[in-house]
Amino acid sequence: MPTAELNVLPAPISSGQPITALAPMQDVTTLAFMGVVADYGSPDYFVTEFFRVHDTSRLEKHIVQSIDQNKTGRPIFAQLIGEAIPHLERTVHALLKHPIAGIDLNLGCPAPKVYKKNVGGGLLRDPGRIDEILAALRSVCPGRFTVKMRLGFADSSPYDDILASVKRHRVDMLTVHGRTVKGGYRSEVDYDLIAHAVQSVPCPVLANGNVTSSASAVRIIEKTKAAGVMIGRHAIRNPWIFSQCRSRFAGESYAPVQLRDVYDYVENLFHATRSDNIPEQAHVNRMKKFLNFVGQGVDNQGRFLYDMRRTQSAAELFSVCEKHLLTIPDTLFADEPYAGIIARPNCETPLASTA
């Protein structure tokens, strides 16, 4: 396939609509989770968990599996995190042997154990180094090369320099999470600076950060003029969000999600992510991390979250789910997370660690 054709982004599911993408999240965007999301309406694009790149790194088998066994019918981009150019280049060559839609570079992971190694969000302190990395990766990516970044490390002072590098090295798509690394996931999202990126680079820009619902996706796209949105934690809470976005982009209504539908999602997720190699209680604890987000839309008092967090077995977990999700017929799941009902910080890391 000619390079020019390779650089054209895959068409969205609904032609002419804004793009939707599932954000890369460590311990989340596995083969199993992407398959579950696809059951409720795939995003246009998936992005893998990041491949850690260093002098002794090799392609992580479980992430390669999410590429090679992808049955969602949607393209998947392979994300890298690292700063050693020879090893980044080596990793790209290895990944090009697999059915990827393109290579994505992580310039935003805010986890301290990541940025302290001067990778992910840590690289935002060194725009010159980023320029060198973008030049090297562009030279070895015959097809699509994309970047996911934050506004900066402690502030947005390097932002324009990095946008200039994105333009200079012909990045094919840019995703901007409108917070700094130090802003984590709690600070306000600066949509004006996302809009600035849209005006500054020639490639499509996806807006990321606090895309809580299909309604917020429309507002964010209208404000920023972005080509679309990338959604992370709120796709854990509401896997219907991508199909809801497509309906809203088309000006169409969609059936509200009921709590019994959420029960089916929990059951699907439990069985899809289950492994014989994981003890039952460990799997329940992992499910509780997912349900920390799901619970934001179940009730406005946090009763589901309170009961769910105290379960120790699969039987207890599903007893709580039955109590809160099946006992009141036709109760609706909230499109937007209830105010004040938040996932505890210790349950967001590393399950939902993303740029």
Instruction: Report the candidate in 44, 47, 32 with the shortest Cα–Cα distance to residue 74.
Output: 44
Q: Quick one: CA dihedral 131, 133, 134, 139, positive or negative? A: positive
Check if 245 is active-site.
Answer: no
Average pLDDT (12-35) is 97
Average pLDDT (93-110) is 97
Per domain, the residue ranges of the chain are: 3-249, 259-334
- Residues in Cβ contact with 320 at an 8 Å cutoff, skipping those fewer than 6 apart: 304, 307, 308, 311
Q: Quick one: CA dihedral 121, 46, 162, 214, positive or negative? A: negative
Residue 306 structure tokens: 């309170």
Query: With 70 as the cut, is the pLDDT of residue 239 above it?
Result: yes
Instruction: Report the candidate in 124, 206, 134, 208 with the shortest Cα–Cα distance to residue 170.
Output: 134
Q: 242-280: per-residue pLDDT in tens?
A: 999 999 999 999 999 999 999 999 999 999 999 989 999
Average pLDDT (309-319) is 97
Decide if 8 contacts 40 (C-beta within 8 A): no
Give 222's DSSP letter: H
Decide if 338 contacts 299 (C-beta within 8 A): yes
Query: With 90 as the cut, is the pLDDT of residue 352 above it?
Result: no
Residue 203 structure tokens: 């490639």
Instruction: Give the pLDDT confidence score for residue 6 in this predicted structure.
Output: 63
Percent of all residues in the chain with a pLDDT value above 90, rounded to a whole number: 91
pLDDT class of 351 with cuts at 50, 70, 90: low
| 131 vs 81: CA distance, rounded Å | 15
pLDDT class of 43 with cuts at 50, 70, 90: very high
Q: Which residue has the higher pLDDT, 138 or 6?
A: 138
Residue 102, beta-bridge partner list: 77
| Helices first, then strands: H and E counts in the chain | 15, 8
Query: With 90 as the cut, is the pLDDT of residue 122 above it?
Result: yes
Decide if 33 contacts 69 (C-beta within 8 A): no
Q: Do the strands 19-22 and 46-52 form a parallel or antiparallel pair, or are they unpaired? A: unpaired
Q: What is the pTM of this model?
A: 0.94
Query: With 60 as the cut, is the pLDDT of residue 12 above it?
Result: yes
Helix or strand (DSSP H, E) at 80: strand 76-81
Instruction: Give the pLDDT confidence score for residue 2 in this predicted structure.
Output: 36
Catalytic entry in 109, 141, 321, 347: 109
pLDDT class of 342 with cuts at 50, 70, 90: low
CB count in 10 Å sphere of residue 51: 23
SS3 content of the chain, % helix, strand, coil (to 5): 45, 15, 45
Domain formed by 3-249, architecture: Alpha-Beta Barrel (3.20)
| 281 vs 278: CA distance, rounded Å | 8
- Residues in Cβ contact with 289 at an 8 Å cutoff, skipping those fewer than 6 apart: 347, 351, 352
Decide if 162 contacts 120 (C-beta within 8 A): no
